[in-house]
Amino acid sequence: NIQVLLANRPQGWVQESDFLFTETVLPSLMEGEVLIKHLYLSLDPYMRGTMNDAKSYARKVELGQVMRGGTIGVVEATKHPDFQENDLVSGYFGWQQYSIFNGQDVLGRNVRKISPKDGIAPSVYLGALGMPGVTAWIGLQTIGQPKAGETVVVSAASGAVGSVAGQLAKIQGCRVVGIAGGKTKCDYVINELGFDSCVDYKAGHLAEDLARATPEGVDIYFENVGGEILETVSQRLNPFARIPLCGLISQYNEISPQGFHNFGALLTLRAKIQGFNVQDANTNLWQEAINELEQLLLTRKLKYRESIVDGIEQAPKAFIGMLKGKNFGKQLVKLT
């Protein structure tokens, strides 16, 4: 069983040398245990926070421990009454090829059995129908509360969370503007995901381009990025705007993260900014979100894209690449 351990706590940007590969022999199964062979590992921005010795929205990983991560896998052997061979299961089992569990994952959560509907690929349950999709749904519906005709801006728009948030807002009748890095991603956001417009923040005139794309101001800003982009969008807010604060990926590798400065706009406009963590939502809300997203996917109203690398050896490089925007859609590692 090849595992990836946390070797160092990075100062600033993560390096491949912050990870260590090791191989262990799996013990034989005890009564009540299940052996899963992982099919896919999900690579997510929150993992950067787990590498720090500081409080973040994700609990830290200890040095020498297996990196935390969501996986989808198949039951290979079982001595647990609730699991059968070949069951498909999803849980937080970390950066490794196999795991043994007794009903709960490393977060102490019940492991979810997955029954993919109508040929949906299992990997999708780590993306649009998994944690990132649920994050988009919860942030948009509970904090954003979109109304038809409103303007919604979504940053990291081509990514796992942003792509779902924007498509949901569009389905609810909003005018949706994405922000993404580069023309290829922006073209995808408009032509494939159906956003009304997309601003390429790397083109060098973000404020002007955003102003052009949001002639009636911004009612909801689904925030994934932070830094300059948050500052710039905050100049376009309308009265009573809502900002679901989902993530600040531009700041995760900064030794001195940039704060938010435009509090004056929030006060003047009676706007709301609210952080949230998808893990706070209860099982019923997760299920409600997944059911709705599954229906939208089956009726082709929800699209997604994946960036898949092959083999656990690729995980550190792909993770660092994702933090730099080299991924295009949900970043996954195929393990078998």
Torsion over CA: 4, 156, 225, 141 (sign) = negative
Token pair of 280 as six digits? 């706070």
Is residue 336 close enough to count as binding ligand NDP by CB under 6 A?
no
DSSP string, 56-113: -SSPPPPTTSBPP-EEEEEEEEE-STT--TT-EEEEE--SBSEEEESSB-TTSPBPEE
User: Is 34 or 72 the residue whose CB approaches ligand NDP more closely?
Assistant: 72
Token pair of 293 as six digits? 């997203």
Q: Which residues, 259 to 318, sit near ligand NDP by CB under 6 A? A: 276-278
Q: How far is the CB of 77 from ligand NDP (least distance, A)?
A: 32
Task: Mark 135-174 with x for binding to ligand NDP (rule: CB under 6 A) and - for no binding.
Answer: x--------------------x-xxxxx------------
Q: 50, 224, 232, 234: which one contacts ligand NDP (CB under 6 A)?
A: 224
CA 90 from centre of chain: 15
Q: How far is the CB of 305 from ligand NDP (least distance, A)?
A: 9
Is residue 246 close enough to count as binding ligand NDP by CB under 6 A?
yes
> Which ranges of 235-329 would DSSP assign to H, the alpha helix?
263-269, 283-298, 315-323
The backbone torsions φ and ψ at residue 125, rounded to the nearest 5 degrees and listed phi first, read -80, 0
Task: Mark 49-78 with x for binding to ligand NDP (rule: CB under 6 A) and - for no binding.
Answer: --------x---------------------
Q: How far is the CB of 61 from ligand NDP (least distance, A)?
A: 16
| Distance separating alpha carbons of residues 129 and 87, to the nearest angstrom | 18
Residues near ligand NDP (CB under 6 A) are 44-46, 57, 132, 135, 156, 158-162, 180-181, 185, 224-225, 229, 246-247, 249-250, 276-278, 322, 325, 327, 330
